[in-house]
């Protein structure tokens, strides 16, 4: 999205955006000069300038021969918009919150998008009070580290399975064997179980499919999966060469692959 399109998302018309951008490049300027630089018809320049002046984006000064215009600086203009948006969001939050009643009927809800999945994951982490069990890729660690750090600081237990190489040392942490991660197609899997009450499972980075549920049976399955993986990896980490030699070849290959990686 270019700057012109970005300004229109703030409520500028196309002509208003072109006039403001032209003024940023050359000011003070007359309406005629602005129209010529912006490529806006002369009949529309003064209308656009008037609207920009009304919204506090442009200032004008009267000269002996002409009226001159200059823009309000982008920092000041955007600070005003940011303040207005925050105020509107705060007002909407207080108006909409009483209307919403969450019903945990145990259905499976699906949605798409990695950004949306991470946003939901962050909300789950922020709401958690007792325990979080997670399966995280390197990208997920980077996106959720701040929220997880805050959760850990307020006393939430963390059990984390890492499928990549990102550093993370809060709570109980194990690294999933790379070969097993590949075999189970977990390279792009995000999983969170919050307070044994709700779980989120998302797969894929470029194209993400996510499912959330409070269904107690499915939440229990997800909880058991993460808990057993945490337990198994702790045990595997303590196996000596003599015990490794007793494992089935396929199992041994997974663990030795991890050691040699």
For 221-236, the pLDDT digits (tens) are 999 989 988 887 777 7
Residue 130 domain flag: yes
Find the mean pLDDT for residues 101-122. Answer: 85
Q: Let me know whether 221 and 174 are in one domain.
A: yes
What is the reported pLDDT for 3?
Answer: 86
Same domain, 29 and 150: no
- Is the per-residue pLDDT at 259 higher than 50? no
Domain with residue 208: its CATH number is 3.30.870.10
- 146/206 same-domain check: yes
For residues 128 and 249, state if they share a domain: yes
Task: Answer whether residue 95 is part of any domain.
Answer: no
Q: What is the CATH number of the domain that holds 58?
A: 1.10.10.10
Instruction: Select, from the ranges 22-26, 60-64, 249-253, the one with the highest average predicted confidence (pLDDT).
Output: 22-26
Domain housing 59: 3-75
Task: Encode pLDDT of 188-206 as tens digits.
Answer: 899 999 999 999 999 887 7
User: How much of the chain exceeds pLDDT 90, in percent?
Assistant: 34
Q: What percent of the chain is modeled with pLDDT above 70?
A: 87
Which pTM value belongs to this model? 0.65
The reply to whether 166 and 117 lie within a common domain is yes
Q: Are residues 200 and 252 in the same domain?
A: yes
Q: Do residues 126 and 235 share a domain?
A: yes
Pair (68, 118) in one structural domain: no
SS3 letters across the chain: CCHHHHHHHCCCCHHHHHHHHHHHHCCCEEHHHHHHHHCCCHHHHHHHHHHHHHCCCEEEEECCCCEEEEECCHHHHHHHHHHHHHHHHHHHHHHHHHHCCCCCCCCEEEEECHHHHHHHHHHHHHHCCCEEEEEECHHHHHHHHHHHHHHHHCCCEEEEEECCCCCCCCCEEEECCHHHHHHCCCCCEEEEEECCCEEEEEECCCCCEEEEECCHHHHHHHHHHHHHHHHHHHHHCCCCHHHHCCCCHHHHHHHHHHHHC
- What is the pLDDT, as a whole number, of residue 261? 43
Q: How many domains does the chain have?
A: 2
Whether 162 and 249 map to the same domain: the answer is yes
């Amino acid at each position: 999205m270019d700057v012109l399109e970005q300004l229109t998302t703030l409520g500028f018309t196309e002509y208003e955006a072109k006039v403001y951008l032209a003024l940023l490049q050359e000011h003070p300027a007359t309406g005629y000069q602005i129209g010529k630089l912006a490529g806006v018809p002369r009949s529309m320049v003064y209308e656009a300038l008037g609207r920009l002046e009304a919204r506090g984006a442009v200032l004008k000064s009267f000269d002996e021969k002409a009226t001159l215009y200059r823009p309000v600086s982008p920092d000041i203009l955007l600070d005003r918009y940011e303040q207005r948006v925050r105020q509107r969001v705060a007002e909407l939050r207080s108006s909409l919150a009483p209307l919403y009643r969450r019903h945990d009927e145990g259905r499976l809800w699906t949605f798409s998008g990695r950004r949306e999945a991470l946003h939901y994951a962050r909300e789950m982490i922020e709401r958690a009070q007792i325990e979080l069990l997670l399966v995280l890729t390197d990208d997920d660690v980077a996106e959720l580290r701040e929220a997880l750090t805050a959760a850990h600081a307020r006393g939430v237990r963390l059990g984390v399975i890492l499928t990549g190489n990102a550093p993370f040392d809060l709570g109980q942490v194990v690294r999933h064997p790379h070969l097993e991660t590949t075999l189970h197609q977990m390279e792009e899997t995000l999983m969170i179980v919050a307070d044994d009450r709700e779980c989120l499972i998302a797969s894929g980075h470029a194209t993400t499919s996510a499912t959330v549920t409070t269904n107690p049976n499915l939440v229990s399955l997800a909880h058991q999966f993460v808990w057993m993986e945490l337990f198994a990896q702790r045990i595997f980490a303590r196996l000596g060469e003599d015990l490794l030699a007793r494992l089935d070849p396929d199992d041994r290959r997974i663990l030795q692959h991890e050691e040699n990686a």
